[in-house]
Structure 1
């Protein structure tokens, strides 16, 4: 089987929030989506010495599921459907916005460890039109519940954040074919994945360079590949361990109209989403009530 060819590579656009340094990787100047994924922000490693208790700002969503993967730190989630959770390093916060929700997330250093490091990835997963009008849903997954396996010959490990890989299966719901892998490669390790025809797949190198199918890429590169069936060979040519994010899935076949926090299938749907939000239909967040309920 042939190795897949890269279609493009690009670096992200910076867009910080408060003291968090953030790079917008998707959408970019070449692509609006990779499979069902329409958004990727990288919150780069940041040392935080104080706890942010004020949140990053409540805001609405409709038509998507948000997925925050916390590599380091802890993420506190609130939403107007009454969901609350505090998830720590290695965990995932997933929320289906359905027909409209308001949520707020706050990234802080992990209160369970001595580390002051904050590092995360946030994805938006576009929902099929038949799901966009459904009820919101929510799932919190702590790090020790994320499916993980060691790679052969002590090459590293793979975590399945969404979708499946071999016998591993994520608890995150699938509404279409999707996969999101965190692959940790030891120095000079090589690992291969085979993808079927028509599958859209991208790779993100968050911190270190790497070689993919014999092509060298830089740290911070976002790379999309062709849709032909083929092999993806990941080679960590660094002198220390490297992390690789691989994600994608089946092409999204419906129209995509993204504006602000809403991703819908037409301009009319987007206008309705804004109207309903301004009418107060998405509800409100009761921060203290949700925190108190979690404490029991």
Structure 2
């Protein structure tokens, strides 16, 4: 039996400088899917020669209580933070940062200097942490494109990359604290793929650039599709003209209180107030851009 679709929605524009961004989650229907409380889609843009590197960065800003995950579909992502981490990933790579009890970070996007591809395209998720993990020290991890587990789907239907979690015997390097998954699926032209869904788990699909039919319902590029929590099957049928990229993600429901404000996701209003107090007291540290760039050169 196919899973019932609960609702679908389109993202809202939330641009940063020259970057075209669609905020997919939260939306007017849902605040979270499993532990995922935030999804920004950095729509594909072609680099402009007169665009300054500063404008392509988010600027130093704090986080607490979550892990951020940036998946660079195309381009080059550069990360700095107040724990002394500085790294780059290229097209197909992942950056994961556990904000834990507080950190400052900055991310910059430029075209992929390894391939020369002028386009930039990607996603950022916020993954809510259990209350005990919110108290832990920050951590940072990069996963290069060649380290992302990938499986070819049978009968030349396409492929699946495991960004977070596990698919059959493939396990992502990204740490998890609850049962969760994030798959990048490419469905070949005219093909159909299906995935079993566990009862009690939360599931959602995002269609970044292509139309597709999901459980017999047609959806458009940019659609976010959520399902009920009953057991069933998720079936995706692609149009006959080109391969389609699809994000399938979710996990077990987050059962603790969720209080989100700005860059902080905590379990109470008091903890939100403490997060701001610690930030204004400079307890998250400072990013030393020159030292970090020198250290990694």
Shorter-normalised TM-score: what interval?
over 0.9
> In the TM superposition, what are the counterparts of 1:62-141 in structure 2 within 5 Å?
62-141=64-143
The reply on whether 1:154 has 2:142 as its aligned counterpart is no
Unmatched 5+ stretches in structure 1: none
> In the TM superposition, what are the counterparts of 1:188-267 in structure 2 within 5 Å?
188-267=190-269
**Length, aligned pairs only:** 294
Decide whether the 8 Å contact of 1:210 with 1:238 is kept in 2: no
Q: Deviations over 1:197-253 (max 9, x none)?
A: 010000000001101111111110001001001111111124101001000000000
Q: Deviations over 1:124-172 (max 9, x none)?
A: 0000001001010110011111001111111111000000000110000
Query: How far did residue 254 of structure 1 move?
Result: 0.5
CA distance in structure 1 between the partners assigned to 2:181 and 2:39 by the alignment: 14
CA distance in structure 1 between the partners assigned to 2:292 and 2:240 by the alignment: 45
**Mean CA deviation greater in 47-56 or 101-110:** 47-56
Query: How far did residue 195 of structure 1 move?
Result: 1.2
Unmatched 5+ stretches in structure 2: none
Decide whether the 8 Å contact of 1:84 with 1:291 is kept in 2: yes
**SS of match in other structure, 1:283:** coil
CA RMSD of aligned residues (A): 0.8
CA distance in structure 2 between the partners assigned to 1:136 and 1:240 by the alignment: 41
Query: How far did residue 109 of structure 1 move?
Result: 0.5
Query: How far did residue 114 of structure 1 move?
Result: 2.1
TM-score (norm 1): 0.98
> In the TM superposition, what are the counterparts of 1:266-281 in structure 2 within 5 Å?
266-281=268-283
CA distance in structure 2 between the partners assigned to 1:182 and 1:220 by the alignment: 15
CA distance in structure 1 between the partners assigned to 2:53 and 2:136 by the alignment: 31
TM-score (norm 2): 0.98
After superposition, the Cα gap between the structure-2 partners of 1:116 and 1:89, relative to the gap in structure 1 and judged at 3 Å, is: same
